[in-house]
Chains A and B, each alone.
Chain A
Amino acid sequence: MSSNYIAPKNIEELCMVLKDKDDRTHIIAGGTDLIINLRKKGIIDYKIIDISKFQRFKTIDFQEDRIIIGSCVTMIELENNEEIKKYIPALTSAAYSLGSTQIRNKATIGGNLVNASQSGDTIPVLFAYDADVRIMNSSNEYRYEKASDFVSGIGQTSLRDDEIITSIIIKKSDSISAFSKIGSRKTVTISKINCCGKFDMGEEDRINNAIIYLGAVGVKPVRSDLIENELIGFKLGQGLNDGMKKVIQLQIENAIPNRNSKHYKKVATIGLIEDMLSQVRGDLRI
Chain B
Amino acid sequence: MKELKYVGKSLVREDSYDKATGKTIYVGDMKRTDMLYAKLVLSEKAHADIEIDRSEAMLVEGIEAIYTHEDVPKVFYNSAEWYPGIKGIRDELILNNRARFVGDRIALVVGSSKETVEKAISKLKIIYKELKPVIGLKQARKDEVIIKENTNLAFSKSINVGNYEEALKKADYVIKDIGTTPKVHHAAIEPHVCLAEFDYQGNLVICTPCQVATQVQMHVANVLNIPLNKVRTVKAVMGGSFGGKSQPILEPIVAFAAWKLNRAVLLYMDRTDVITGTVSRNATEIAVETAVNKEGKILGRKVEVRVDGGAYNTNASNVTMALGKKLYRLYDIPNQTFEGKAYYTNTLPGGTCRGYGSPQGHAVTEVNIDNIAKKLNMDPCEFRLLNLVDEGAKDLTGAPEIGNAKIKECVKVGMEAFNWKEKRDTIKNKSADRYAYGVGMACGTHGNGYKGAYPDFTNVDMRIYADEGAIVKIGVHDLGCGTITTLKQIAAETLDINMEKIRITEADTFVTPYDSAGTQASRVTYVCGGAIKEAGKKLKAKLINAFCKLKNVPIENVETANGYIYDKNSTEEHTYGDIVTEYEKHFSESMSISLEYKSPANPASFAAFFAEVKVDKYTGLVDVIDCLAVHDIGRAINPMLVEGQIQGGAQFGLGMALYEQMKINKNGDVKSNSFSKYHIINSTSMPKVKIILIEDNEPYGPYGAKSVGEMATVAPAPAIINAINFALDTNITTFPATPEVIVNEILKKGI
Instruction: Show the binding face of A for B, using Cβ within 8 Å.
Output: 1, 39, 42-45, 182, 184-190, 239, 261, 263-264, 267-268, 270-272, 274
Contact = CB atoms under 8 A, between A and B. Distances in A.
Contact of A274 (B434, B620, B677, B743): B434
B618 A267 contact: yes
B131 interface: no
Residue of A45, A185, A272 ringed by the most chain B CB atoms within 10 A: A185
A270 B618 contact: yes
Contacts of B118: 42, 44
B434 A271 contact: yes
Given A184-B738, A264-B739, A270-B618, A190 B122 contact: no
B746 interface: yes
Nearest to B272: A40
Contact of A190 (B623, B659, B676): B676
B747 A44 contact: no
Contact of A184 (B119, B618, B679, B684): B679
A185 B119 contact: no
Contact of A268 (B119, B122, B743): B743
A263 B747 contact: yes
13 contacts: A1-B115, A42-B122, A44-B122, A182-B621, A185-B658, A185-B682, A264-B740, A264-B743, A267-B743, A270-B618, A271-B434, A271-B616, A274-B434
Contacts of A182: 619, 621, 739
B163 interface: no
Contacts of A188: 682, 684
A187 B682 contact: yes
Interface string B674-718: 001101011011000000000000000000000000000000000
A39 B122 CA distance: 11
A186 B119 contact: no
B262 interface: no
A52 B556 CA distance: 78
A189 B122 contact: no
Contacts of A271: 434, 616, 618-619
A188 B686 CA distance: 13
B229 to A, nearest CB: 41
A134 B432 CA distance: 47
B405 to A, nearest CB: 36
A267 B747 CA distance: 9
Contact of B679 (A42, A189, A274): A189
A180 to B, nearest CB: 10
Interface string B481-519: 000000000000000000000000000000000000000
B433 interface: yes
Contact of A45 (B119, B619, B738, B747): B119
Nearest to A261: B740
Nearest to A269: B618
A45 B118 CA distance: 10
A185 B122 CA distance: 34
Nearest to A193: B619
Contacts of A42: 118, 121-122
Q: Does more than half of chain A's interface fall in helix, strand or loop, or is it mixed?
A: loop
B747 A268 contact: no
B728 to A, nearest CB: 13
B744 interface: yes
Contacts of B619: 182, 267-268, 271-272
B78 to A, nearest CB: 32
Interface in B617-666: 618-621, 623, 658-659
Nearest to A267: B743
A125 B740 CA distance: 26
B115 A43 contact: no
B432 to A, nearest CB: 10
Contact of A44 (B115, B739, B740): B115
A276 to B, nearest CB: 12
Nearest to B121: A42
Given A267-B746, A268-B743, A185 B115 contact: no
A271 B658 CA distance: 19
Given A44-B122, A264-B743, A186 B434 contact: no
Given A45-B119, A271-B434, 20 more contacts: A42-B118, A42-B122, A43-B122, A44-B118, A182-B619, A184-B738, A185-B621, A185-B659, A185-B681, A185-B682, A186-B685, A187-B682, A239-B433, A263-B743, A263-B744, A264-B739, A267-B618, A268-B739, A272-B619, A274-B618
B659 A184 contact: yes
B727 to A, nearest CB: 16
Contacts of B676: 190
A272 B676 CA distance: 21
Kindly list the 6 A-B residue pairs having the minimum CB-CB distance in the complex, ordered from nearest: A271-B618, A271-B619, A187-B684, A44-B119, A264-B740, A270-B618
Contacts of A274: 434, 618
Nearest to B677: A190
A270 B618 CA distance: 6
A239 B119 CA distance: 57
Interface in B183-225: none
Nearest to B673: A40
Nearest to B619: A271
Contacts of A1: 115
Contacts of A264: 620, 739-740, 743-744
A12 to B, nearest CB: 32
A182 B676 CA distance: 14
Nearest to B433: A239
Residue of B618, B623, B659, B747 ringed by the most chain A CB atoms within 10 A: B618
Contacts of B747: 263, 267
Interface in B343-389: none
Contact of B620 (A189, A190, A239, A268): A268
A264 B620 CA distance: 9
A42 B122 CA distance: 6
Contacts of A39: 270
A10 B313 CA distance: 61
Contacts of A270: 618
A39 B115 CA distance: 12
A263 B679 CA distance: 22
Nearest to A41: B122
Contacts of A187: 682, 684-685
Residue of B677, B743, B747 ringed by the most chain A CB atoms within 10 A: B743
A188 B682 CA distance: 8
Nearest to B616: A271
A224 B738 CA distance: 27
A189 B658 CA distance: 14
A228 to B, nearest CB: 20
A156 to B, nearest CB: 21
Nearest to A42: B122
Contacts of B270: 39
Contact of B685 (A45, A185, A268, A272): A185
A272 B621 CA distance: 12
A222 B150 CA distance: 53
Contacts of A263: 743-744, 747
Residue of A186, A239, A263 ringed by the most chain B CB atoms within 10 A: A186
A264 B738 CA distance: 11
Nearest to A43: B122
B433 to A, nearest CB: 7
Contact of A186 (B618, B684, B738, B743): B684
Nearest to A190: B676
Contacts of A43: 122
A121 B682 CA distance: 20
Contacts of B685: 185-187
Contacts of B739: 182, 184, 264, 268
B63 to A, nearest CB: 13
Contacts of B659: 184-185
Contacts of A272: 618-619
Nearest to B684: A187
A268 B615 CA distance: 12
B191 to A, nearest CB: 14
Nearest to A45: B119
Interface string B439-476: 00000000000000000000000000000000000000
